[in-house]
Amino acid sequence: MNKQEKVKGLAGTLYIIFKVFFWAAIIFAAAFALGALLTVFLPSDLMKTANIESMRLSLGSTISFSIGDLGDVSFKPVLLAILISCAVALPLFAAICWQLAGILKTVKEDRPFADENAKRLMIIGIVLLNASWIFKVIETVTASVIITAFSIPNISISYNIVDSTILFMGLLVLILAGVFKYGSYLQNEYDATL
């Protein structure tokens, strides 16, 4: 088996994996949205923190703290914020998986510089640029809801407009989309001369 066949085989395997990720993300996003809808209609009394003396919370990898003596607090707003956050974030992940699967399909078909791959990379870049601020809004709102719901003292939230890492990745993918567009142009010129 030569290198090209190995690459095609790997592309085929990754194509299947990204299709599975896409459908899993869609199913989970729908489940989280349905869970959020059901949570809205559930009485707050069902979601009280009865008999919980302390709780440990972590927001991302940067903030971790323990809460003691919760009293009779409803965690319904926290659950609702988390469910809505997942229902919003997962479709972005699904969109990226769908585009990556399309790119891998063309690689498997021995057409890596197909015109549609530049468009797919452009879509991935745009999704990442939007995700850079959407994720920050989700993070800030969820943190605010947690702090308010559990009456956590002496904690303030600072909101960053964008996640610079995701923004940078989005810009790199947009540059890569331009490279692929030029590669597609060169491939078409080469094919036209033959």
Distance between CA atoms of residues 46 and 13, nearest Å: 45
Give pLDDT, residue 71: 66
Cα angle at 125 between 84 and 115, to 5 degrees? 130
Phi, psi of 53 (to 5 degrees): -80, -35
Residue 162 lies in a domain: yes
Note whether residue 116 is domain-resident: yes
Residue 157 belongs to a domain: yes
Domain presence at residue 194: no
Q: Is the dihedral of CA 50, 52, 54, 55 positive or negative?
A: negative
Give domain status of residue 48, yes or no. Answer: yes
Tens digit of pLDDT for each residue in 83-92? 999 999 999 9
Kindly indicate the confidence band of residue 145, based on its pLDDT and cuts at 50, 70 and 90.
confident
Mean pLDDT lowest among 25-29, 102-106, 156-160, 166-170: 156-160
Residue 55 CA to residue 172 CA, distance in Å, equals: 41
The answer to whether 156 and 93 are in contact (CB under 8 A) is: no
β-partners of residue 65 are: 57
For 28-79, the pLDDT digits (tens) are 999 999 999 999 998 877 777 665 666 666 666 556 666 666 667 778 898 9
Query: Which residues on adjacent β-strands are paired with residue 58?
Result: 64
pLDDT tier for residue 160 given thresholds of 50, 70 and 90: confident
The secondary structure of 49-88 as a DSSP string is: -TT--EEEEEETTTEEEEEE---S-B-HHHHHHHHHHHHH
Please state, rounded to an integer, the average pLDDT across all residues of the chain. 87
pLDDT greater than 80 at residue 159: no
Supply the range of the domain harboring residue 73: 3-187
pLDDT (0 to 100) of residue 60? 63
Q: Establish if 193 belongs to a structural domain.
A: no
Specify the pLDDT at position 54.
Answer: 63
**Distance (Å, whole) CA 84 – CA 142:** 9
Whether 129 shows a pLDDT value over 70: the answer reads yes
CA atoms of 131 and 128, how far apart (whole Å)? 5
Is residue 192 in some structural domain?
no
Overall number of domains in the chain: 1
Would you call 28 helix, strand, or coil by DSSP?
helix
CA distance 144 to 138: 10
How crowded is residue 11: how many other Cβ atoms within 10 Å of its Cβ? Answer: 19
